Amino acid sequence: MGRLSSRRFLGFALSLVAIGPPLSAQDLRVSAGTIEDRRTTGKFFGGLEVELKLTGDDLADAKASRVLLKKAVDETGRDLLPDEKKVPDFSTSGGSDLKVSLKNPARGATTLKEISGEVELFTPSRDPAATVTVDKLLSRMDKPISMPALRNQQIEITVVSPKAHRANAAKRKAEFEKEMAKGKAEMEKEMKGASAEEAKALEAIMGLAQAFSGMMDEVGDNDLILNVKDVDGRVMDVEVVRADGEKVSSNGSMSSGELRIMNFSEKLPADAKLRVLVKTKKALVSSPFTLSNVSLP
C-alpha cells in the first residue's frame, strides 16, 4: 500500500512537471449567460446553473474548454461551491459557452456577489507535440502502438480487432457487474429514507446503465475499437483522418473505462490514420475571470 502511494505520488509529481501551469490567454473574455436556479424539496436536480459565455480571439483555434472555479458566493455570503471538489472535464463541443453547477443561493439573495476562477482552453495548434498522428492504423491490430510521442506522455493505445473484442465480452461483463453491485450498495446507503418514487427512479437508472453496458459489446463491421491507457488523463480526443489529413466523420462514439468504440457507417480507408490530441503544457492557455453582482432570477 505504502509503495503504491509513493508510486502514485511520484506519478502525480511527474505529471505536474510534464503539464505544469497553462500559459496565459491574451484575449479571452467571460460573461454570464443564462442562469437557472432550480430549487426543489425533492432530492434530485436542484442547484444553480450559470452559463458562462466566452468571447475573444483566443477562442478561434481552441478545440476544448473548461472552467475551474475558485470562488462562488451569493450576496448573503453563502458559499455556493459544490461539496465535491472534482476537476471538470474539458468540453469538446466546440461552442463558446460553458456551464457551471453550483449550490442553490439563499432564497432571499437577489445577486451573486462573486463567481471567479479560471477558464482553460485547449489549443493544439500552439504545440506540435499536442497532435500525435499514427499511420497505418488498420495494420496495427491487437498490439500496443509503439510511438515515442505517445510513450513520453504515458499513453498506450491499442487498436482492438472485433474478434478480440468479442472474446473479451465475458470478462467486461463480470467487471461491470462487480462495479454495479458496488454502486448499488453505495446508492442504497445514500437513499435511506427516500420515497418509493425516488427509489423507483434509481432502479430505472441502474437498469439503463446495465442496458448501456451491453451496448459496448455490440460492434459494427466498420467500427474502430480502441483500448486507451491514459493514467494521467492527457488524451483530449481521438479522431480518424484520411491520408490527406481530412477527418473521417464518425456516427458517434462510446467509451467505458479504457475502451472506446468509434462508429463509422463506411469501411475505413486502408491508409486511415489516427490523430490523438494530447493535453500538453504549451497547448493549454488559461485566463482568470471574475463576475460580480450577477442578478439572480
CA-to-CA distance for 99 and 149, rounded, in angstroms?
Answer: 33
Which is it for the CA torsion 223, 229, 231, 232, positive or negative?
negative
Selected range binding another protein among 41-49, 113-121, 203-211, 260-268, rule: CB under 8 A: 41-49
CA-to-CA distance for 256 and 69, rounded, in angstroms?
Answer: 27
Using CB under 8 A as the binding rule, whether residue 35 contacts another protein is answered as yes
Q: How many residues bind another protein (CB under 8 A)?
A: 22
Selected range binding another protein among 36-44, 207-215, 268-276, 280-288, rule: CB under 8 A: 36-44
Residue 229: how many other CB atoms lie within 10 Å: 13
User: Which phi and psi (to 5°) does residue 128 adopt?
Assistant: -55, -30
CA-to-CA distance for 54 and 72, rounded, in angstroms?
Answer: 18
CA-to-CA distance for 66 and 88, rounded, in angstroms?
Answer: 7
Q: Which of 76/249 has CB closer to another protein? A: 76
Q: Which of 82/162 has CB closer to another protein? A: 82
Q: How far is the CB of 35 from another protein (least distance, A)?
A: 5
Positions in 15-34 near another protein (CB under 8 A): 34
Using CB under 8 A as the binding rule, whether residue 207 contacts another protein is answered as no
Residues with Cβ within 8 Å of residue 128, at least 6 apart in sequence: none
Using CB under 8 A as the binding rule, whether residue 108 contacts another protein is answered as yes
Q: Which of 6/34 has CB closer to another protein? A: 34
Using CB under 8 A as the binding rule, whether residue 11 contacts another protein is answered as no
Q: List the grid coordinates of 178.
A: 462487480
Report the interface residues with another protein, using CB under 8 A: 34-43, 46, 104, 107-110, 190, 193, 197, 295-297
